[in-house]
């Protein structure tokens, strides 16, 4: 029995990836450690991110129509394959909890200081659970509308903030030490670009598998270019202060004031976070429940949607004690922690599959 009957087009896949990459990065500016050189760090990170995408898309091209859990079972056998799959599912689950945590922390700090974090988490989790229950096709259709609106809003914000931009703020270029720049660019490659490895659980459902590779690259490239644009805008408006603010994109939008009439436009940024965060959480949530259903050989992933959602909310509530710890993890531990999941698992699986000459055609198996 097929666990997922839906199919998505390559355009929907690209938009889904754009939404996924925007996810938390609309708010947590990637490359922020590099200060006003963040755009350089993002550009370098984008290149490394495309290499990571190259690895996992080669793997899915090799095993068309199969998720990573199915690929692992074929390549390593049932026991070792399921063990590696559970490690990957843990990564997806943890990533979901981290995004939820960022999400609730931002809402608590900037928008709803009196609302309990648990309530915002439960509400977004319910929306994501309903979407995941409907399958990948519904999520992909949402992306068409919501990602387009988000990009338009980003352009709108940038136009409104243009009078406050001073391109001199971008100078001197390459002001940060090269070691720090390279580390920041690696961190940017891992988050947000490398996180797209979660699509190893989604690429199996693209209606034209031969186009999925270019769709992934297009999605990452467009998202990367928009993020570079946002980083340039933030640095041009905020100058050296860009490295100090927790949420520079939000602060940049706060500057907008058109004749004392059009103010508090930063809420548009918050809307972007809410919609794009929804995509990122839904994709990793979907990957987690689908992966677990495949590992445990279930007939449907739907019965475990709500319990896994609850566990994700609990991890989101408890995984860090404060915002500083969250940023420490994002900048220090996360770029190392994710290497096994984003690079090692897809790369080693691909190499083992090549060595074992997998997948075998029907004639070879006989």
Partner 1 sequence: MSALVLIGFGIIALIQIPGLVRKQWWRELICFTLFWSLGLVLAVILSMGIKLPPLTTIINETITGMLGI
User: Which residues in this chain contact partner 1 in the complex, by CB under 8 A?
Assistant: 94, 97-98, 101, 292, 296-300, 303-304, 306-308, 310-311, 314-315, 317-321, 325-326, 328-329, 332-334, 336-337
Least distance between partner 1 and beta carbon 313 (Å): 9
String of DSSP letters for 221-259: HHHHHHHHHHHHHHHHHHGGGGGT-SSHHHHHHHT--BT
Q: How far apart are CA 343 and CA 200, in angstroms?
A: 12
Closest to 332 (Cα-Cα) out of 176, 184, 192, 181? 184
The nearer residue to partner 1, 148 or 318, going by C-beta atoms, is 318
Least distance between partner 1 and beta carbon 302 (Å): 9
Closest to 257 (Cα-Cα) out of 164, 156, 153? 164
The nearer residue to partner 1, 217 or 329, going by C-beta atoms, is 329
The nearer residue to partner 1, 225 or 314, going by C-beta atoms, is 314
Least distance between partner 1 and beta carbon 318 (Å): 4
Q: How far apart are CA 353 and CA 347, in angstroms?
A: 10
Q: How far apart are CA 307 and CA 354, in angstroms?
A: 38
Which residue matches tokens 């690209």?
Answer: 14
String of DSSP letters for 182-209: HHHHHHHIIIIIGGGGGGGGTGGGBSSG
Least distance between partner 1 and beta carbon 37 (Å): 21
The nearer residue to partner 1, 189 or 292, going by C-beta atoms, is 292
Least distance between partner 1 and beta carbon 198 (Å): 18
The length of the chain is: 366
Closest to 108 (Cα-Cα) out of 97, 98, 120? 120
The nearer residue to partner 1, 168 or 297, going by C-beta atoms, is 297
Least distance between partner 1 and beta carbon 241 (Å): 26
Inter-residue contact 29 to 184 (CB < 8 Å): no
The nearer residue to partner 1, 297 or 365, going by C-beta atoms, is 297
The nearer residue to partner 1, 270 or 312, going by C-beta atoms, is 312
Closest to 295 (Cα-Cα) out of 78, 82, 76, 93? 82
Least distance between partner 1 and beta carbon 99 (Å): 12
Inter-residue contact 112 to 124 (CB < 8 Å): no
């Amino acid at each position: 029995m097929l666990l997922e009957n839906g199919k998505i087009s390559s355009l929907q896949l690209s938009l889904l990836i754009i939404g996924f990459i925007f996810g938390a990065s609309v708010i947590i500016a990637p490359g922020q450690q590099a200060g006003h050189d963040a755009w350089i760090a993002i550009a370098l990170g984008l290149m490394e991110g495309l290499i990571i995408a190259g690895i996992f898309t080669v793997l899915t091209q090799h095993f068309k129509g199969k998720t990573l859990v199915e690929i692992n079972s074929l390549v390593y056998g049932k026991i070792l394959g399921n063990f590696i799959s559970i490690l990957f599912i843990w990564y997806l689950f943890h990533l979901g909890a981290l995004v939820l945590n960022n999400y609730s922390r931002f809402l608590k700090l900037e928008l709803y200081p009196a609302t309990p974090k648990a309530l915002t988490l439960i509400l977004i989790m319910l929306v994501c659970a309903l979407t995941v229950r409907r399958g990948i096709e519904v999520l992909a259709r949402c992306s068409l509308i919501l990602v387009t609106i988000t990009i338009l809003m980003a352009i709108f914000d940038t136009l409104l903030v243009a009078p406050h931009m001073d391109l001199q703020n971008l100078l001197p270029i390459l002001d940060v030490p090269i070691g720090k720049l390279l580390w920041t660019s690696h961190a940017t490659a891992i988050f947000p670009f490398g996180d797209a490895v979660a699509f190893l659980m989604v690429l199996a459902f693209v209606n034209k598998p031969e186009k999925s590779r270019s769709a992934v690259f297009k999605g990452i490239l467009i998202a990367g270019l928009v993020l570079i644009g946002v980083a340039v805008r933030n640095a041009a408006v905020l100058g050296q202060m860009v490295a100090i603010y927790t949420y520079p994109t939000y602060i940049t939008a706060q500057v907008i004031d058109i004749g004392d009439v059009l103010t508090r436009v930063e809420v548009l940024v918050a809307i972007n976070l809410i919609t794009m965060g929804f995509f990122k959480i839904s994709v990793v949530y979907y990957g987690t429940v689908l992966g677990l259903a495949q590992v445990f050989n279930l007939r449907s992933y739907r019965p475990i949607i709500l319990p896994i959602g609850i566990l994700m909310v609990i991890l989101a509530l408890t995984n860090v004690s404060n915002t500083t710890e969250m940023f420490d993890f994002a900048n220090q531990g996360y770029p190392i922690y994710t290497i096994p999941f984003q690079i090692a698992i897809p790369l080693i699986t691909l190499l083992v599959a090549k060595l074992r000459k997998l997948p075998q055609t029907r004639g070879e198996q006989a």
